[in-house]
Structure 1
């Protein structure tokens, strides 16, 4: 059982707006990067392979293919380094974890598309 002050702390950090997305969506995540006192934004675009909801510790994994190599990155959902999450496409999948995409080529995906609105 969590203490009351831990619950209040988590609620204060979770108040930030995060758009709804699920597994299969194609997202663009803009990340703040500090280099020599300068802050710049770097974007990472990919398919959401997995999503773990554990309150303040919730994470999601993005996968993309660059130069014929698969790249995966795990992002904490409520991290302060994430400046913006943009939804590019909505795809329907029946599974909650898409780890089988690691063995497939991008053109081989059979995906049903979902309307945004």
Structure 2
């Protein structure tokens, strides 16, 4: 399965570098699209990230979670300038987010050991 970011096809081993480059450029929201139309969203505040996997436009999808986390974090700046705050339980540490995104791009599914919940 092939994934694109802004029209650029990315190999699984290129995804994290692209996410890091986007972050370094001040772009904290990145959307990846697969050939069949699945969507993978990555929004970060540089410490934690919201990672969502949707089956297509209009799907509520699933998102990665850290069940034991408490508190909340802000600074999740969307492309439209909106600054969101999320419960830490609904996000994952950025290193875990990178691992999850690379796995989804490589395998097309969540890593077996990654906690995620359905929003459907």
The two structures have a TM-score, normalised by structure 1, of 0.27
The TM-score, its normalising length taken from structure 2, stands at 0.27
Greater C-alpha radius of gyration: 1
